[in-house]
Structure 1
Amino acid sequence: MSQNSTDQFFKNPVLGHPAGLFVLFFTEMWERFSFYGMRVLLINFLTMAIIGDNPGWGWSAENAGALYGTYAMLLYITPIFGGIIADRYIGYRWAVVIGALIMTLGHAAMAIESPVMLYTGLALLVIGTGFFKPNMTSILSEMYKAFPEKKDGAYTIFYMGVNAGAFFGMMLCGYLAEKVGWHWGFGLAGVFMLLGTLQFWLSKPLFGSIGEVPSKENRQAEEAAAKLSTNEEDKRNPFTLVDKILIVCTTVIGLLYAFNDPLSKIGNINLFPFEVGGLSGQNFAILIALLLFLFLVITRMMRYTLVIRHRMIAVIVFAFFTVFFWMSFEQGASSLVIFARDNVDRTLEGGALTFFNIVNTLLTVVPLAIVSWVLVLLAKQTWAKIPGSNIVLAICFLGVWGVAIWMLYQEFTATSSEITVSWFSILNSFFIIAFASTVSKLWDSKFNPPAAIKYGLGLIIMAIGFGLLAFGAYGIVEGVKVSMVWLVLAYLFHTLGELFLSPVGLSYVSKLVPGRMIAFMFGMWYLAIAIGNKLAAILGGQIENITKEYSLSTFFLIFTIVPIIAGILVMTLNPVLKKLMHGVK
């Protein structure tokens, strides 16, 4: 894209940025609304008793965790393939639209509430996310190619869209599902996914050639430049036949493992019906896949210079500790949902209910008013060019305001109320919005610590949240419920830990890895997050078993002690990691 066309793109800005950024902001917001709106319901719906005013399916936490874990794991693997397809064949914009439409169908399927449609819906959501997730940020990156100094601010605004969508999705889909019926929550997620897709498609005139199908000539020019470059980091490192075979083998075994976990627990179908040396077939297969993958990574790294090799080792160390973080943090989607439902006193009345309603109203109305104001600013700048997109966005916001006002009215007119389980999940998004700028300013000050220290602090701070839950749950007997204060404090510490650790990882992958291997290493990074998500669901599914055998406090102590040990360990590795990074800060 030429400098002139980029300058043109930056005309008529909104809050100092191109109007196109805010189209992406709202597109991502509605996608996150639907994704988190469904995510906060799934475990609750599957494990809810099959009798009652709003019955679920009565699954055990272990079975629900097995299904959710595989779904969450695949969400971080399919984007690797979606990014490749968009890069080479269909372009970023078409990938976003295709992914969004597939996800809309997935939400619609889940609203039907039958086993076949649930599994179909989850499969469609995984495939759709593969197309959608990597290509939104690719469009954003391409928009700011000629203005790198503005990119940090753009990503901050975009990230706020992510959290605004997650916040409202969990709040409104969760409230409808728990108070009216599950299919209402699943259905609302799909409605906004569809409308978000439509507003993005109708905004095409704003983006010019950005995100279009890549031309063959451009790809050939990039490859030719790489061949001629004298820079070691630009030199190609083509995949050998052995590399490709190893990638296929590890991918197939990994996918079979992911599917076998829920199949064996829920459907009694075992894809690995054998044992080797006391190991189950499933565990033996995944061990072989891990060894093959390590061989692949090591042999590829050996083809680079010593400095580049060292930097890539540093990335692998960070990826390893990333597994421990997400293994604990993602309890928010499994065990903490069950804990909030079954073990937290959520009933309010009198003054406590009035205070909660005031807080809840402020939490709902203030962010919604701010985002609506951004919508008005966008409409002023783009009405002449994309009226259809603005009309669809206005319909979206009228719908959200309508559901929000109805929700608040229901709560204010009640004499007593039980806070929804999903309400606690919005705290993560709220605390991110509240504290993200403060943590960002800390990193820009003289107190900016090395990456290993940030990682260690992130793990330890998050562990404190689980420590508070272990303390709050200590000594309680069956039938006794803990104060919701402990859960609120836990989410606060979990979010602070996330802000310390999560943004650091991807930043260092981009800094440390040579351009010709960045796609492979990003893939490995997302694989680490995928493994962390799967482990989180497996361990979270044991909350009932561990509580029955030991205590609820013991369950939370696991996620207190393990991350603290990991955090201390990564901080002690700081001198080694500094040497491996060879000056990258």
Structure 2
Amino acid sequence: MNQISDASFSEELEKQGIDGSLVLGHPSGLFVLFFTEMWERFSFYGMRVLLINFLTSAIISGSPFSGWGWDPIQAGALYGTYAMLLYISPIFGGIMADKYLGYRYAIVIGAAIMTLGHLFMAFDTPLFLYLGLGALVLGTGFFKPNMTSILSEMYKKFPQKKDAAYTIFYMGVNSGAFFGMMLCGYLGEKVGWHWGFGLAGIFMFLGTLQFWYAKPIFGTVGDPPSKTNLEQKATVVNIDNPDDKPNPFTKLDSILIGIMTILGLGFAFNDPLSKIAGIDILSSLQIGTLAGQNVAIIIALILFLFVVISRLSRYTKVVRDRLIAVIIFAFFVIFFWMSFEQGASSLVIFARDSVDRSLSGNSLTIFNVINTLLTVVPLLLVTYVVIMLTKKTYGKAPLSNIVQFICFAGVWGVAIWMLYREFTAESSEIAVSWFSIMNSFFIITFANFVSKIWDSKFNPPATVKYGMGLIIMAIGFGLLAFGAHGIQDGIKVSMIWLILAYMFHTLGELCLSPVGLSYVSKLAPARMIGFMFGMWYLALAIGNKLAAILGGQIEVITNQYSLSTFFLIFTIVPIVAGVIVMSLQPILKKLMHGVK
């Protein structure tokens, strides 16, 4: 790709009605998106890191640290359905934005609904928690798909700069996750659950305002679609690819998709209902000892396979083969997220109950120094970006900059209070949520290194990256299995094993995660890309649900066998999956027909 000078880049942006002010060589609008996504991820991960811990903590009457006393199976059922729906709702939110709302309004609507969801959860009551989770699912559906849509539209004429833009945006995702888990987690565990949930809501609200007031920076990007644009999209033909022919859904396709959607959602809602409230809405489908909800999901999967196969049969051989390759990749990604997402369920319980988190004397001093560096250095770097953005955009979006200042003043205030509180304590117990920030920290640390390998002559094929991702992540669980081997009741595991596990999980994520969506976009024809992305997110939804179901079994498996056995499940299964997917390289290479 030809490089473009900053002056030419700025001029071209202005022609499109986008603010041409550049920050670190990119449009100021990119950094507005960076911070909007950062505050949304701050809120999402800040809440997520507390949820399982809160649900499974002991009931202590009148205490701000009183949980609900659920067992991990019940907590996993609720969280799994929540996580599953988070990956399904964006399919519908994206359609609404494309056809009616436009990306910007969809983001604001989604952010407002999520703010309400976090506010509900701060009340710590069953009704408000369920309302809160429902609002977060609905809001995410509007918010999640449309952030990247605006980014993609901004860079539509500058593909040579898109990779760098997505890298910067991804740093916003991880910065938000890092600070959200650190600060919301600390407040929730050390002061009271509702403080942690409430802090997540405050920053979601401020992030919404920051984005709304930055409207002048984006020009017409993300505006509601006009009737003319919709008609053009409906009639566009890819003249460069004769295989990219219309393949409309038949009436039978639509009926079967409707049935499988009802059955899938029935399973998703019935799982927590039956385990928490004893209400089984699918009991009439029970066959022998096979529970009704399991029968429902089996029927849904059979119908899904039928629809996919029937649609594939209508494509030419090259397109059909490439879509089969996408399906194979999607299948194996289930095994990755099934294991990786233990970080939201079983690893939280493991860190709380089985890891030695007590510190005093020199060990506490060393930890406080490390924790201070982990907190202050990233905050300084992100604050520097805020100052750069403010200098460029204050005259165009002053209210957005003022809200951003309030956000960072708040984060600095909570961070300094947290560090002061820890430094003045004679002894301390590391917050359970602190270990979860390791994933974001290691992503920021290793992402550039891994991307350079992929850009070098050592760049392996997709199947090898997939296999490496699964196997490297499995090593992390293998270390936990080794560290937990033979421990007795009352004896706790050294925290070093959990930190090392998160490091290997992150390295596995960096190998596998960026590959998937890239290959969906490369292999799927333009007219089917929405459907294939839907399939991909369905695979992620299934992986997240399985992760929560299996994670909920941690106490059952530990009591019946051992804690080490529990972690061995997530060591052996991904390794086997990784070896299989790497062995499929010759087949997948043939199916992809030259796509690399």
The TM-score range, normalised by the shorter chain, is over 0.9
Would you say 1:9 and 2:18 are equivalent positions?
yes
Q: CA deviation at 1:6?
A: 4.9
Q: CA deviation at 1:12?
A: 2.0
Q: Provide the secondary structure at the position in 1 that maps to 2:428.
A: strand
Q: Provide the secondary structure at the position in 2 that maps to 1:76.
A: helix
5 Å-filtered alignment, 1:118-267, equals 118-226=129-237, 229=239, 231-267=241-277
Aligned to 1:335: 346
Q: CA deviation at 1:234?
A: 3.6
Aligned to 2:532: 521
Aligned to 1:82: 93
Aligned counterpart for 1:539 among listed residues 533, 547, 550 = 550
Q: 1:136 to 1:4 in 2, by over 3 A?
A: closer
Q: Distance in 2 between matches of 1:133 and 1:6?
A: 28
Q: CA deviation at 1:11?
A: 2.4
Q: Distance in 2 between matches of 1:140 and 1:230?
A: 25
Aligned to 1:560: 571
Aligned to 2:279: 269
Q: Provide the secondary structure at the position in 2 that maps to 1:348.
A: strand
Moved over 4 A (4+): 2-8
Cα deviation digits, residues 429-483 of structure 1 (max 9, x gap): 0000000010000000000000000000000000000000000000001110000
Q: Distance in 2 between matches of 1:510 and 1:231?
A: 14
Q: CA deviation at 1:219?
A: 1.6
Aligned to 1:33: 42
* Identical residues among aligned pairs (%): 73
Aligned to 2:33: 24
Q: CA deviation at 1:143?
A: 0.2
Q: Distance in 1 between matches of 2:34 and 2:255?
A: 40
Question: What TM-score do you get using the length of structure 2 for normalisation?
Answer: 0.96
Q: Distance in 1 between matches of 2:153 and 2:382?
A: 25
Q: Is the 8 Å Cα contact of residues 90 and 140 (structure 2) preserved in structure 1?
A: yes
Q: Provide the secondary structure at the position in 2 that maps to 1:322.
A: helix
5 Å-filtered alignment, 1:45-84, equals 45-51=54-60, 54-84=65-95
Would you say 1:500 and 2:511 are equivalent positions?
yes
Would you say 1:103 and 2:114 are equivalent positions?
yes
Q: Is the 8 Å Cα contact of residues 19 and 219 (structure 2) preserved in structure 1?
A: no
Q: Is the 8 Å Cα contact of residues 233 and 515 (structure 1) preserved in structure 2?
A: no
5 Å-filtered alignment, 1:400-415, equals 400-415=411-426
Q: Is the 8 Å Cα contact of residues 6 and 146 (structure 1) preserved in structure 2?
A: no
Q: Distance in 1 between matches of 2:90 and 2:235?
A: 27
Q: Is the 8 Å Cα contact of residues 235 and 516 (structure 1) preserved in structure 2?
A: yes
Q: Provide the secondary structure at the position in 1 that maps to 2:337.
A: helix
Q: Provide the secondary structure at the position in 2 that maps to 1:49.
A: coil
Cα deviation digits, residues 299-348 of structure 1 (max 9, x gap): 11111110010000000000000000000000000000000000000000
Q: Distance in 1 between matches of 2:102 and 2:19?
A: 22
Q: Is the 8 Å Cα contact of residues 18 and 221 (structure 2) preserved in structure 1?
A: no
Would you say 1:458 and 2:473 are equivalent positions?
no
Aligned counterpart for 2:328 among listed residues 304, 310, 317 = 317
Q: Is the 8 Å Cα contact of residues 25 and 157 (structure 1) preserved in structure 2?
A: yes
Q: Distance in 2 between matches of 1:10 and 1:152?
A: 20
* Structure 2 unaligned blocks of 5 or more: 1-10
Q: Is the 8 Å Cα contact of residues 109 and 142 (structure 2) preserved in structure 1?
A: yes
Aligned to 2:479: 468
Q: Distance in 2 between matches of 1:144 and 1:480?
A: 55
Q: Distance in 2 between matches of 1:39 and 1:129?
A: 14
Aligned to 1:91: 102
Q: CA deviation at 1:230?
A: 7.2
Aligned to 1:417: 428
Q: CA deviation at 1:278?
A: 3.6
Q: 1:3 to 1:405 in 2, by over 3 A?
A: closer
Q: CA deviation at 1:51?
A: 2.2
Q: Provide the secondary structure at the position in 2 that maps to 1:406.
A: helix
Q: Which residue identity is paired with 1:265?
A: K
Aligned to 2:3: none
Q: 1:233 to 1:89 in 2, by over 3 A?
A: farther
Q: Which residue identity is paired with 1:237?
A: N
Q: Provide the secondary structure at the position in 1 that maps to 2:23.
A: coil
Q: Is the 8 Å Cα contact of residues 163 and 433 (structure 1) preserved in structure 2?
A: yes
Cα deviation digits, residues 499-519 of structure 1 (max 9, x gap): 000000000000000000000
Q: Distance in 2 between matches of 1:223 and 1:556?
A: 50
* Structure 1 unaligned blocks of 5 or more: none
Q: Distance in 2 between matches of 1:11 and 1:62?
A: 52
Cα deviation digits, residues 163-204 of structure 1 (max 9, x gap): 000000000000000000000000000000000000100000
Aligned to 2:365: 354
Cα deviation digits, residues 484-511 of structure 1 (max 9, x gap): 0000000000000000000000000000
Q: Which residue identity is paired with 1:470?
A: A
Cα RMSD of the aligned pairs, angstroms, is 1.2
Q: Distance in 2 between matches of 1:249 and 1:7?
A: 44
Q: CA deviation at 1:238?
A: 1.1
Q: Distance in 2 between matches of 1:234 and 1:311?
A: 12
Question: What TM-score do you get using the length of structure 1 for normalisation?
Answer: 0.98
Q: Provide the secondary structure at the position in 2 that maps to 1:417.
A: strand
Q: Distance in 2 between matches of 1:230 and 1:33?
A: 42
Q: Distance in 1 between matches of 2:98 and 2:451?
A: 31
Q: Is the 8 Å Cα contact of residues 16 and 219 (structure 2) preserved in structure 1?
A: no
Q: 1:6 to 1:553 in 2, by over 3 A?
A: farther
Q: Distance in 2 between matches of 1:321 and 1:222?
A: 33
Q: CA deviation at 1:10?
A: 6.3
Q: Is the 8 Å Cα contact of residues 229 and 235 (structure 1) preserved in structure 2?
A: no
Q: 1:350 to 1:6 in 2, by over 3 A?
A: farther
Aligned to 2:7: none
Q: Distance in 2 between matches of 1:560 and 1:526?
A: 24
Q: Provide the secondary structure at the position in 2 that maps to 1:210.
A: coil
Q: CA deviation at 1:5?
A: 4.4
Q: Which residue identity is paired with 1:262?
A: P
Q: Is the 8 Å Cα contact of residues 18 and 220 (structure 2) preserved in structure 1?
A: no
Q: CA deviation at 1:280?
A: 1.6
Aligned to 1:43: 52
Q: Which residue identity is paired with 2:55?
A: L
Q: 1:474 to 1:71 in 2, by over 3 A?
A: same
Q: 1:390 to 1:4 in 2, by over 3 A?
A: closer
Q: Distance in 2 between matches of 1:253 and 1:121?
A: 24
5 Å-filtered alignment, 1:358-373, equals 358-373=369-384
Would you say 1:295 and 2:306 are equivalent positions?
yes
Q: Is the 8 Å Cα contact of residues 184 and 197 (structure 2) preserved in structure 1?
A: yes
Q: Is the 8 Å Cα contact of residues 17 and 220 (structure 2) preserved in structure 1?
A: no
Q: Which residue identity is paired with 2:312?
A: M
